[in-house]
Amino acid sequence: MITFLEPHIETVPAEFVPDPADTLPDRVSCIDGTLLPCWSYEGHPELYSGKHHTTSHVVQVASDLAGDVRAISDPYPGSWHDAHVHAYAETEWADYIGDDGGIGDKGYVGIGLATPKKKPPGGELSTRDKDCNKEINGLRSVVERAISHVKTWRIFHTDYRKPLHTFAQAFRTTRALYFFSTTF
């Protein structure tokens, strides 16, 4: 039944998925990536996240400073790091956010987002840098809460068990239903 109904369900609420070109410019966006776990599909090593020691897909989530989700990217292989040449760049969100409109965690250092300072090798952060990090982390906490709200949808936080080729459509359907649910 799910296989039969899913394509129809996907098309109805698809209009509620916001276009990042409309929702990200002219506001500060907090960006973070999150894993969507899946089974250990044989023959797909690109889904393995060495950091988390599991197989998954990764998505980027953008929220505003009020914690409202403004965009959820398409899923990418779980081995892609947040600021990997693909994960954030593939979203094309940098074109809409610019160099002064985004906040990210230390995984986004060097790509134009405001990020906390990393401790230098063998050194310590200055008091000013620590205060700055505290301020940035306080601001970006809204995206962490936004991700937790997104992950209340079971498909986003438990292992995806259907065949791998069905994941993209299931994800698009659930993303559309998530945004549909937030409009009412």
* Sequence ranges of the domains in the chain: 2-182
Residues 56-86: pLDDT tens digits? 999 999 999 999 999 999 999 888 876 555 6
How distant is the alpha carbon of residue 105 from its chain centre?
Answer: 12
Calpha distance 12→177 (Å, rounded): 9
What secondary structure, in 3-state letters, does 87-108 show?
HHHHHCHHHHHCCCCEECCHHH
Residue-level pLDDT at 150: 95
- Say which residues have a Cβ less than 8 Å from residue 72's Cβ, sequence separation at least 6: 59, 60, 61, 62, 150, 175, 178
Nearest to 32 by CA among 120, 113, 92: 113
Query: Do residues 59 and 74 lie in contact, with contact meaning Cβ atoms separated by under 8 Å?
Result: yes
Query: Do residues 70 and 52 lie in contact, with contact meaning Cβ atoms separated by under 8 Å?
Result: no
Calpha distance 44→34 (Å, rounded): 19
- Say which residues have a Cβ less than 8 Å from residue 51's Cβ, sequence separation at least 6: 81
Residue-level pLDDT at 147: 95
Residues 124-152: pLDDT tens digits? 999 999 999 999 999 999 999 999 999 99
